[in-house]
Structure 1
């Protein structure tokens, strides 16, 4: 079959699906993230590493939410690929990758704080968190701008749509570096933190309730991250494989439809971040000093496991 004759587009009712999902996502997401920004910027007294990261995450999620109405309208009106389309796509992907990046940095920062609470004092500070966030913004903006400049969109007719069946190596690299590497980091750090908190919970009777809640929160954060983003990036990966090996236009179209639906699920993450990471900030602000104290005590005397909590 001649793949050049394939006409890969979003299925007919997809813009309507977007509209039905994105209206509540947009309203709820803006409300929750603006509330989070107000709390983090105005109501808390002391700036912490987590607070710095949460502000950047809320900003990235808000900016992504503001692109959703334009994304929906562009597909309702079948916007052609052009300068405005590339700017809109760039803003959308910059803020999605920034959201993923900040979640990854938070997981690594949390790992250091819980696993090595004394040693991490040298590496962790609000100023260093601000520099790390700023560096991440600059890198992601530059990378997405470069990708948009190098991408071959001549065969793509509509905005937010890969019409051609030519495999894109640039897209493959962006998928691996932009999601799968962060997912490995988030998963590893979260599992290690859960293991450390579970061990501390068994050793410290008085802190068992606090540690148990922290374990639930870390588990929920990891689950939300994987559930929201993994289907989308698996879909992108499968689309790359299909473009490279398949001669079945219908199969490629099916994968394309799945990617569009998975993108809707991924964008709901903007609402969930504000909820999840509020609890992370609250619980780990309480848990980290206690773990640090426990670590310092352990160096001076033997710790005995709790037997009657």
Structure 2
């Protein structure tokens, strides 16, 4: 059994997966850079005043851009024998994981910030500030850079022929920590905050047609944020969980390879979050479009129907 497991072809992608990588990662890279760079330019150069939410969104953009910048190297590793050195591979892998979980925690912070602002509007200003949001982001960076360093110490040396792929049937000891603290707990926080925000907004709907439209739009944005998070990050963490269990139980080579195939597809969904963030966060903000087109923030008092 050990001999069979040692011969598992983890690092050899089938032609179908290579084609899938070409079709998916090139558009992801293009739109990821375009959307996040545009949003970053607007928030950093055109916004007259930063708020707590702006700080979190800019932090999210930076993390997403750093993830997107690893895509060309990921595609190169999938289509070509890795000959760029193990040091660069480790740096890229650390950057990818650090910024993916930075995105998750920043999305969690945005959900909590929104929850405080809507559920406790009177106390929000005393509880939150731009400085506190900035400190929170700095703590996130310190935490995940440290975790990235520990991950490198835990991982084995990469060979010169593979990168962005697990090259051993042995379980990765830090996987349960990444799964529980990097996904399960943030999912619980986001679900709690989103549920409370939706209930609070629903109560505030009145006979005022314009207010109904505004609240309905806000509810749809919150739901879109939650659904996007689940679609992007649930499959990959399910894959990590199943793979860790299978490797710990010494599953057969066939099972491990099938799980590895699932992880590759789930990785695409996780990476698609870098583009979806720009849709469900930045471009859903009315302030973004008002600044982009230099319009005033005044809106008509009455509106006959929702748009």
| Shift of residue 279, structure 1, vs aligned partner | 4.9
TM-score by length of 1: 0.85
State the match for 1:209 in structure 2.
Answer: 213
Distance (Å, rounded) in 2 between the aligned partners of 1:6 and 1:277: 41
> CA 1:105–1:214 in structure 2 vs 1: closer, same or farther (change >3 Å)?
same
SS at match of 2:174: helix
Over the residues paired in the alignment, what is the CA RMSD in angstroms? 2.2
Corresponding position of 1:12: 14
Q: Which residue of 2 aligns with 1:247?
A: 251
Is 1:170 paired with 2:174?
yes
Match of 1:37 among 29, 37, 40: 40
Q: Matches of 2:12 and 2:287 in 1, distance apart?
A: 43
Aligned partner of 1:185 in structure 2 is: 189
What is the TM-score normalised by the length of structure 2? 0.86
Q: Which residue number in structure 2 is paired with residue 148 of structure 1?
A: 152
Shift, 1:212, TM fit: 0.8
Partner in structure 2 of residue 23 of structure 1: 26
1:101 and 2:111 are equivalent in the alignment: no
Distance 1:37 1:224, change over 3 A: same
Query: Would the alpha carbon gap of residues 16 and 161 (structure 1) be closer, same or farther in structure 2, given more than 3 Å must change?
Result: same
Structure 1 residue runs of 5 or longer lacking an equivalent are 285-309
Greater helix share, 1 or 2?
A: 1
Q: Is the 8 A contact 2:86 2:157 kept in 1?
A: no
| Displacement of 1:85 | 1.0
How many pairs does the alignment contain? 284
Alignment of 1:123-162 (within 5 A): 123-153=127-157, 158-162=162-166
**Structure 1 CA distance, aligned partners of 2:40 and 2:284?**
15
Judge which range, 200-209 or 57-66, deviates more. Answer: 200-209
Deviations 1:103-158 (A, max 9, x none): 01101111111111112221211111111111111111111111111223579972
Distance of 1:61 and 1:278 partners within structure 2: 12
Structure 1 distance, partners of 2:198, 2:276, is: 20
